[in-house]
């Protein structure tokens, strides 16, 4: 505000005559506008009360839905925790069983290899080798013995591996039955 307008505002505040005129104007304006404004106030309060009730009902419904969903999620979490505990227990059992099987394979492997060597020695002793000259006979016998020994070592290793693989297959089939392992879960370890 500047200049004359400001002086007028200051004078109106100080001047008692202007204060009475202002009061009269406010009364006239209030008498003419109050009935119309009262209708607007009533509608606003009615809409406000209805809207408030509607919002409260919506909020209550939302709260119930959230509570139900939280309860369902808590049930799911408990069920998953139980499943994890069950799987952990089964895994611990499988590890223990794997340890026993591995120990047995390691313990039995040398015995099986020794038995296969003994069987191969008996088979070799029964089959004579014929060679044209005596010098070639010694060399042929030595080469044949080397081949047979190497063959026995390989057979022992493969049989140990095959036993181990078969046991693992059975353990996997028992733990994870279904199409992934090609088993129906009937075989047990």
pLDDT, tens digit, 9 for 90 and up, residues 65-87: 888 998 898 899 999 999 999 99
The angle subtended at Cα 139 by Cα 149 and Cα 117, nearest 5°, is 15
Question: The pTM is what?
Answer: 0.35
Count the domains in the chain.
1
Q: What is the pLDDT of residue 85?
A: 92
Alpha carbon 80 to its chain's center: 10
In a domain, 184, yes or no: no
In a domain, 189, yes or no: no
In a domain, 56, yes or no: yes
In a domain, 156, yes or no: yes
Q: What are the two backbone dihedrals, phi and then psi, of residue 183, each rounded to the nearest 5 degrees?
A: -120, 160
Q: What's the token pair of residue 180?
A: 């992934």
Give me the torsion for CA of 33, 35, 36, 38, rounded to 10°.
110
Tens-place pLDDT, residues 88-110:
999 988 888 888 888 888 888 77
In a domain, 103, yes or no: yes
**3-class DSSP assignment, residue 173:** helix
């Amino acid at each position: 505000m500047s200049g004359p307008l400001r002086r007028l505002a200051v004078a109106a505040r100080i001047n008692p005559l202007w204060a009475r005129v202002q009061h009269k104007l406010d009364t006239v304006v209030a008498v003419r506008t109050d009935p119309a404004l009262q209708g607007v106030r009533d509608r606003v309060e009615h809409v406000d009360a209805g809207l408030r009730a509607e919002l409260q009902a919506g909020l209550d419904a939302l709260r119930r839905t959230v509570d139900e969903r939280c309860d369902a999620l808590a049930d799911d979490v408990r069920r998953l925790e139980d499943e994890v505990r069950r799987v952990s227990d089964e895994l611990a059992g499988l590890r223990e069983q794997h340890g026993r099987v591995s120990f047995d394979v390691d313990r039995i492997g040398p015995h099986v290899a020794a038995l296969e060597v003994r069987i191969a020695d008996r088979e070799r002793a029964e089959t004579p080798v014929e060679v044209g000259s005596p010098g070639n006979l010694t060399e042929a016998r030595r080469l044949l013995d080397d081949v047979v020994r190497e063959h026995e070592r390989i057979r022992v290793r493969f049989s140990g591996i095959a036993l181990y693989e078969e046991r693992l297959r059975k353990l996997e089939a028992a733990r994870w039955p279904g199409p992934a392992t090609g088993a129906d879960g009937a075989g047990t370890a």
